[in-house]
């Protein structure tokens, strides 16, 4: 007798992940990671991370120990890129290939209360009309656009991500929120959270804000924490740019 077999639903979907590219010796790199984490508590908590090991001459024992150290720091590695097949052993994150650049920052990713439909990689099976739950992330993926305008404040815990161009926020960015742009970032209010510009390797990107109170800013992967900012900039309109791998800043008159 034939049974009424139910089909298995298989979908394709793309997610944004942070790519960490460590260098040797791992001990020194972990020290720099600890320094970042100490000044931005919970930065990696709950964020999917891909480990890029391209060009590193290490063995499986070193990788195992390194993954253990990352786990102690609440860094959840979902996959490994650029590693020899012999490095990946049982219980390790899977090897990944063919990843596309999205939001690359030595550090980044987050939930949000404003929802948007995620980009699909493949369609569902024909006839599957199940409703999708809303996704807690603002993620615009429309290549024809060069800028994204957010017409409301970005609240704590929210993340605005737009790899294709500039982001303009008509309002403030709260502490615990973040804005990540492939181009420049313009904030017509107070910047109290994190702003990461030039996330796809754009060293010409800039950050502008009406009131500088940022937790962290980054341009093209070079970051600066609140403690590193000159006191003279605090509370003032500021622009920031990259010059010789250093972040420069000045007040806007």
Residue 233's domain is classified under what CATH number? Answer: 2.160.20.70
The count of structural domains within the chain is: 2
Contact (CB, 8 A) for 120 and 95: no
Bridge-based pairing state of the strands 12-13 and 166-169: unpaired
The answer to whether position 192 is within a domain reads yes
66: containing domain: 13-96
Mean per-residue pLDDT, 191-211: 91
Judge if 89 and 144 occupy the same domain.
no
Mean per-residue pLDDT, 54-67: 91
Please, which pLDDT band fits residue 90 given cuts at 50, 70 and 90?
Answer: confident
31-40 per-position pLDDT tens digit: 988 887 766 5
Please, which pLDDT band fits residue 66 given cuts at 50, 70 and 90?
Answer: very high
Selected residue with higher pLDDT from 77 and 10: 77
Judge if 186 and 246 occupy the same domain.
yes
Residue where one domain finishes, among candidates 96, 128, 155: 96
Average pLDDT, the chain: 76
Residue where one domain finishes, among candidates 96, 123, 153: 96
The answer to whether position 201 is within a domain reads yes
CA dihedral 95, 100, 104, 109 (to 10 degrees): -80
Whether residue 10 is predicted with pLDDT greater than 50 in this model: the reply is: yes
27: left (phi over 0), alpha (psi -120 to 50) or beta: alpha
CATH assignment at residue 76? 3.30.70.260
The answer to whether position 1 is within a domain reads no
Judge if 169 and 76 occupy the same domain.
no
Bridge-based pairing state of the strands 185-191 and 207-212: parallel
Q: What is the pLDDT of residue 193?
A: 92
Q: What is the pLDDT of residue 147?
A: 86
The answer to whether position 39 is within a domain reads yes
Selected residue with higher pLDDT from 40 and 120: 40
Q: What is the pLDDT of residue 187?
A: 96
**Residue listed under structure tokens 């815990």:** 157
The answer to whether position 225 is within a domain reads yes
Mean per-residue pLDDT, 69-83: 87
Cα distance between residue 223 and residue 192, in whole Å: 15
Residue where one domain finishes, among candidates 96, 127, 146: 96
Among 33-42, 72-81, 200-209, 233-242, which stretch is predicted with the lowest mean pLDDT? 33-42
Judge if 76 and 161 occupy the same domain.
no
- 128: which residues sit within 8 A by CB, 6+ positions away? 9
Q: What is the pLDDT of residue 43?
A: 64
Six-digit token string for 205:
């990107």
The answer to whether position 7 is within a domain reads no
Judge if 65 and 162 occupy the same domain.
no
The answer to whether position 116 is within a domain reads no
Judge if 140 and 211 occupy the same domain.
yes
Judge if 66 and 141 occupy the same domain.
no
The answer to whether position 126 is within a domain reads no
Among 125-129, 184-188, 219-223, which stretch is predicted with the lowest mean pLDDT? 125-129
Contact (CB, 8 A) for 229 and 213: no
Q: What is the pLDDT of residue 14?
A: 59
What pTM value is reported for the model? 0.51
Six-digit token string for 164:
């294709």
């Amino acid at each position: 007798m034939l049974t009424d077999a139910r089909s298995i639903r298989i979908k394709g979907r793309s997610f944004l992940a942070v790519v960490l590219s460590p260098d040797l010796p791992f001990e020194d790199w972990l020290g720099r990671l600890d320094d970042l984490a100490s000044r931005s508590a919970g930065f990696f908590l709950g964020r999917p991370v891909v480990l890029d090991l391209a060009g590193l001459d290490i063995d499986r024992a070193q990788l195992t120990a390194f993954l253990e150290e990352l786990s102690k720091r609440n860094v959840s590695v979902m996959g490994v890129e650029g590693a020899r097949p012999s490095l990946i052993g049982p219980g390790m994150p899977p090897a990944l290939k063919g990843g596309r650049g999205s939001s690359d920052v030595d550090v980044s990713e987050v939930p949000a209360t404003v929802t948007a439909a995620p980009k699909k990689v493949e369609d569902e099976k024909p006839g599957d009309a199940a409703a999708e739950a809303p996704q807690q992330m603002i993620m615009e993926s429309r290549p024809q656009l060069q800028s994204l305008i957010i017409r409301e404040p970005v609240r704590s815990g929210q993340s605005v991500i737009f790899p294709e161009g500039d982001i303009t926020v008509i309002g403030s960015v709260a502490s615990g929120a973040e804005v990540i742009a492939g181009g420049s970032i313009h904030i017509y209010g107070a910047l109290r959270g994190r702003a990461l510009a030039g996330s796809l390797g754009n060293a010409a990107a800039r950050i502008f804000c009406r009131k500088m109170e940022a937790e962290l800013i980054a341009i093209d992967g070079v970051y600066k924490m609140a403690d590193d900012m000159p006191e003279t900039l605090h509370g003032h309109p500021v622009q920031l740019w990259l010059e010789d791998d250093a972040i420069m800043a000045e007040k806007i008159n």
